[in-house]
Structure formats: structure tokens, C-alpha cells
Amino acid sequence: MVSRLADTDDYVSIVLAGEAGQGIQTVEHILARVLKLSGYNVFSSKEYMSRIRGGTNSTEIRISSRRVSSFVDRIDILTPLSEGALQHLGERVSSETMILGDRENLQREYRGREDKIMDVPFSQVASDVGSKIYSNTVAVGVLSGLFKVEINILEDYLREHFSAKGEKVVRKNIKAARKGYEIGADLVASGKIEVKIEKNFKVTDEVLVNGAEAVALGAIGGGCNFVSFYPMSPSTPVAVFMAQHSRDFDIVVEQAEDEISAMNMAVGAWYAGARAMVTTSGGGFALMVEGLSLAGMLEMPVVIHLGQRPAPATGLPTRTEQGDLLFTLHAGHGEFPRIILAPGSIEDAFYLTQKAFNLADKYQVPVFLLTDQYLLDSYYNIPSLTTSSLHIERCIVRTDKDYKRYKITPDGISPRGIPGFGEGLVVVDSDEHNAEGHITEDFEVRTKMVDKRLKKLGSMKKEAIPPELVGSKNYKTLIVGWGSTYHVVKEAIGHLGREDISFLHFKQVYPLPLATSDYLKKARRRVVIENNATSQFGSLIELCTGINIEKKILKYNGLPFFLEEVMENMRTL
């Protein structure tokens, strides 16, 4: 038997599966990096259960000679490190899937697929090295051998990755990887496996980053110097990354006792002159809503990163969904303006997070950054994240003796001072207030203050980030999406090659860009694609434009869209 990989599609999809706590994420982390360092474009994303032990987790790594950045259903190579992978992955394991594993241990579960099993005794090799714990490193070695990764690149990265655990652990892991590498190289040399993917050595100097790291880096680029949070997946890695680099960038990172405190800390930090962010998920944000309204009344900037996951309640806490859009739109008691940004790519996660701080500072409103588990946990290589175009816009004024924090202005934006910067008194209050910031129950003043706050929407709409049109301007069918559906729809459009279908992707979902209606009215048929059950963005569009999007492509089982299912839906349009 000879298995030829990537003859036509120019990519190979590897899925590693094993029990929670078995080191699947370690394999992903190491393998993705050594493949990139060897000249391959890589994309990886994981799905995992919300338990410390037991159950089956998996991670997908796409390897290609061209850029890849979306999830696929197809599995070319399955590496099961424990029982249960076949049942967990279901129909994704096809008759064409090659299985790398210990034949003796796999025969019962993979009965009828024996001809697809490439016998690799991970456990025995690891035991020969010193312990079965090295099975995942053996797997890294085998797969590196299949793709002709330079052995010195693999060994150097293992040395770096395990250096904190001591020289003995480093040596054992390198030995396990070498033995695995020999097995993988022998499978290729014997002709049992043939890999046809060209290397591109320009890729070696690119960066491999995931969405969580990009959000954190964007916050740093936006001048963020205070982060408050209470741990909640999938948003916690953002705070962890910033804590790890807090001393490098003079950032205060505070793990609060709860989400209520986290939000109030961030509001207070902006009042004192900091540029603050809270990072949370839907259930955590539910506790922040009163503090959000406080920011609305105080006209206090605040940046809120919300990593979405399936709800209600705890839902599927480690899976993905775009289910919190309308929640963020309507959260809070009373009426006050806000901005909602939704990155569609790792690059967006960086640049939009940076921009969020400038928008919050300028308009003195809450700015949301809506991501999700899929975007935050996905890696792919990119040329760079440049800071040359970034500019931190600080909108604080030096106060004078007659300073009025809530002065009525034509655009609704009052000059924002901070205590101790100037001669004026900076008064803020959660009650309705007059121009000086003092409590009032005057009905006329109340009306003027509400109008002043809402007047900002006019300027915010004019500055809204325009949507990106992928495909021909002469479209007949327009697919509308937002957030993390960007790459999968873009890749599907490219494969489909139809001039009559284009994709309109929104990076800012509220306030909607002024040109939204023009794009939609031009289409003969409109389609919206979302990772939720009720087409929340479609509802928002209808609310703001009066245009109903008839056709809806929705997925809400906790997984992102597969490339294949998007293409299948498009073929019927």
C-alpha cells in the first residue's frame, strides 16, 4: 500500500487525538512550529472537552505550500494516542484516512480499516526511551520524519521547549523524537507514504501566532497599561500573555475576585488616566453589565474583550460560537452608545484591538472586541504584525479652573480631564448630572444629557470600519458574514471560482458602516453565514437597515464551519 498525500489539493490535514491531559496540545505546539521553521505553511486549531482527565480531545494541523487558515473536515493522517478517537471524530475519519498508530492496540477499534493502519508502536518506543510519557514526543518525531523536517530544527526546538525541566528531560525528549523521526523517514523511504508538498523557505522567517496572542499584542500596541479579569475560557490566555509580558511593557494585570470587580477596576483605571481592558467570556460579561452601564453614564472609555463560547449558562465552555452579538448590543440598563468590533483574522485581532483603545478614548464609550474560541485558539503563520502604522491617540485635556466634564458640544464629545492634570475639578457621578458632573434631577438637563450622549453615534457611524468585499463587484449573490467566518468563506469563494458570488465581511458590526445598505441592495440574493442558531447579525442588519436577509447558513453545535460544508452550501446558491 502507498498513501499519496496532497496530490491535488496542495495540503495535508493531520489530526491528533487523545485523552485530556495526554499532551495533545504539546504535540500541536511543537509540531506546528518545527513545520513552519522547515518551510511549510501551517494552520492549527483544537477542540477539547471541559474536563481535566477523560474524554477525547483533538487538534488539526493543515500543512501546505500555500497559505492556509481555515478548518477542514477532511483527515488525511489520524494519529490516535488513546482509544476513542474513531468514535469522537465520527465520519471525519473516511476510507481514505491513513492511521498512524500501534496496530495491535488499534485493531479492535478500527476493525475493517486494518489496511489503512501504518504500524507505529508509540508506547513501546516511548517505554524504550524511559517512559510512556514520551509517546507524544515520539509522535512529533514520526510526523516530522514524514515531512522531512530538518532533524536539527526539531532537536533545537525541543531543547528550547523543555529547557526549564532540566537536561535529563531534554535528552529523553530528543531521544524519543529521534526514534520517531527514523520511523517516519523509513515510511517515506520505503515508499509506503509519499508526501507531495513543496517547501517555501520564506515562511521560515514568518511569525506563528494565535488569536489570543494577537489580541494581547494589539492591546499592548494600543497603549493598554491596565488589565483586569477573572479567569474564564476562552478569554483567559489574553490576560495570561499580558501578565507574562507585564514587566516588559509596564502593564498592571489584576486577577480580580470576580467579574464585577474587574469591570469596576477598569472603569476606575480610565478615570485615573490609564488605558484599561477587561477580558472575559459571555457568562463573565453577564456580571459586568451594571459596570458597563456605569461607564455609559460616566462617559468613561473602556475596552471589553469578549471571547464567545456556546451558552446559555455554562453551555459548552471549551467550544466556539458567535452567540453574544445581540447581548453586547443591548447589554446594560438605559440607552447609551457603544462600538462593537469583530476580528475575522489574526491580523484583525491585532489591528482592531489597537484601534479599540483609540476609539474608546476618542468617543468616551465602551468598545467591544468580539472574538470566539475558534479564533483565539487557532494558529497560522503570517509575514508580520507591524507597528509602523499604529498611532496611540490620547484624548485627555489639561483642565482649567472653569472645567466642565460634561460640557455640551456639537458632536456630543466633551473634553475629558483626569484628576491632577490641570487646575480643574473632575467630577463624575453614576446619577444623572449637569455639565459640571454634579447630581441633578432637572428634567430639561436630563434630556440634554441623553441627547448629548447619543449624538456621538453620528460621528461613530461616519468613522465605522468599512466591510471587506471578497470577489467580484458585479455579484448577483452576496454572502454576508462577520468575525471568525472570514477565512473559511474566503477560501470557499476562491475554490468555487464563480463571478456571480461575492462575500461581504464585517469587521465592525455596530454601528454598521454607512455603505451597508448599498452593498445589500445591489445583490439579487442575500445570504448570511453565522455560528449561531438565530442569525443574530442578520437580525441586527434588519434592525438597522430594514433589509431582511432571506437565506441563512447557520451552525451551532460548538464547532466552527468546515471548509467543505461552506462549499457545499455555496454550490446550491
Q: How many CB atoms lie within 10 A of CB 100?
A: 25
| 49 in the same domain as 193 | yes
Nearest by Cα to 291 from 324, 310, 267, 314: 267
pLDDT in tens, 282-292: 999 999 999 99
Read off the pLDDT band of 261 (50, 70, 90): very high
Number of domains observed in the structure of the chain? 4
| 162 in the same domain as 54 | yes
| 213 in the same domain as 195 | no
* Higher pLDDT pick, 439 / 114: 439
pLDDT score at 5: 64
Worst-scoring range by mean pLDDT, 42-46, 99-103, 153-157, 345-349? 99-103
Read off the pLDDT band of 7 (50, 70, 90): low
Q: Give domain status of residue 402, yes or no.
A: yes
| DSSP percent split of the chain into helix, strand, coil, nearest 5 | 40, 20, 40
Is residue 478 helix, strand or coil? strand
The answer to whether residues 179 and 129 touch, using CB atoms and an 8 Å cutoff, is yes
Given a cut of 70, whether residue 6 has pLDDT beyond it is: no
Q: How many H helices and E strands in the chain?
A: 20, 22
The answer to whether residues 382 and 240 touch, using CB atoms and an 8 Å cutoff, is no
Share above pLDDT 70 across residues of the chain, in percent, rounded to a whole number: 98
Question: What is the residue range of 505's domain?
Answer: 468-571
| 336 in the same domain as 293 | yes
Nearest by Cα to 217 from 405, 21, 351: 351
pLDDT score at 4: 57
pLDDT score at 14: 97
d(CA 450, CA 462): 20
pLDDT in tens, 179-203: 999 999 999 999 989 888 999 999 9
d(CA 111, CA 366): 56
pLDDT in tens, 306-328: 999 999 999 999 999 999 999 99
pLDDT in tens, 387-416: 777 899 999 999 999 999 999 999 999 999
pLDDT score at 437: 98
Given a cut of 80, whether residue 132 has pLDDT beyond it is: yes
Q: Give domain status of residue 513, yes or no.
A: yes
Given a cut of 80, whether residue 230 has pLDDT beyond it is: yes
Average pLDDT, stretch 331-344?
98
The answer to whether residues 234 and 376 touch, using CB atoms and an 8 Å cutoff, is yes
Asked whether the bond before 511 is cis by omega within 30 degrees of 0, the reply is yes
Read off the pLDDT band of 3 (50, 70, 90): low
Nearest by Cα to 15 from 96, 108, 80, 107: 80
Q: Give domain status of residue 427, yes or no.
A: yes
Question: Which of 205, 227, 259 lies at the terminal end of a domain, its last residue?
Answer: 205
Average pLDDT, the chain: 95
pLDDT score at 8: 55
Cell 449558562: give the residue: 313
pLDDT score at 1: 47
Question: Which of 173, 190, 205 lies at the terminal end of a domain, its last residue?
Answer: 205
| 176 in the same domain as 27 | yes
pLDDT score at 404: 98
